């Protein structure tokens, strides 16, 4: 059995005040509905846990009913930080779940084939992440607005979601994060604390996340095409 955890508890402050980016209508439905549908329809995912802000459970329940999501699902409240939200979601998955796929709720374009490849890589390696090679020339700053040094982009990747793990590995990694007192914004960073290798799964198609207003037209185009 495999579980998906959709992290949908953030506030998305970069979208502006009073804007819930997860419920922005894009290509005929809210952003998070597109994300959820990818996992609801995927043959290798057997349940969905959605991590939501407290008080939003009814809104997500209505969303599931409206869009006909059929796989078993449940809602759990988010935590103070993203790592806490992921831990809450992980604790709510079925105890028999072997693989866990963690997905940003605001990343609605993930291809089903990428989900399949990440799950397969996690089965083999223990941990895997969807990623794209960096194609821009990158510079490191001096802490301000001046270039300090050039970075070799041939070894650099931009990581995305899903991030997939064998259950026992992500449980151990998150426990190490709690013990260290660190804050992380990426689940694979937890694996670094326990020395767990993470397989990079190249994502050949665009897999953007809604972060700021300028992202919406591009994601609208991708979803409609």
**pLDDT tens profile 77-91:** 999 999 999 999 999
Residues 6+ apart with CB under 8 A from 110: 35, 38, 103, 130, 160, 161, 162, 207
How large is the average pLDDT for residues 170-197? 94
User: What pLDDT is attached to residue 204?
Assistant: 93
The pLDDT confidence band at residue 14, using thresholds 50, 70 and 90, is low
∠ Cα 38 89 3 (to 5°): 45
More confident residue, 225 or 221: 221
More confident residue, 161 or 186: 161
At 130, give phi and psi (nearest 5°): -70, 135
pLDDT surpasses 70 at 12 = no
Confidence (pTM): 0.94
pLDDT surpasses 60 at 191 = yes
The pLDDT confidence band at residue 7, using thresholds 50, 70 and 90, is very high
């Amino acid at each position: 059995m495999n579980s998906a955890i959709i992290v949908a508890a953030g506030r998305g402050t970069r979208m502006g005040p009073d804007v819930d980016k997860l419920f922005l209508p894009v290509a005929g439905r809210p952003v998070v509905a597109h994300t959820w549908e990818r996992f609801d329809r995927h043959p290798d995912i057997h349940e969905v846990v959605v991590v939501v802000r407290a008080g939003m459970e009814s809104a997500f329940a209505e969303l599931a009913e409206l869009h006909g999501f059929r796989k078993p699902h449940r809602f759990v409240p988010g935590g103070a930080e993203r790592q806490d939200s992921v831990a809450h979601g992980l604790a709510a998955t079925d105890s028999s779940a072997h693989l866990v796929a963690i997905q940003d709720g605001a990343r609605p374009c993930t291809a089903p084939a990428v989900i399949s490849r990440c799950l397969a890589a996690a089965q083999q390696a223990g941990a895997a992440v969807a990623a794209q090679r960096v194609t821009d020339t990158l510079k490191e700053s001096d802490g301000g607005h001046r270039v300090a040094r050039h970075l070799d982009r041939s070894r650099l990747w931009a990581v995305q979601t899903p991030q997939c793990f064998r259950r026992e590995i992500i449980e151990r990694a998150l426990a190490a994060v709690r013990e260290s007192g660190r804050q992380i914004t990426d689940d694979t960073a937890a694996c670094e604390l326990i020395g767990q290798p993470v397989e990079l799964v190249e994502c050949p198609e665009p897999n953007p996340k809604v972060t700021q207003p300028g992202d919406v037209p591009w994601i609208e185009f991708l979803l409609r095409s």
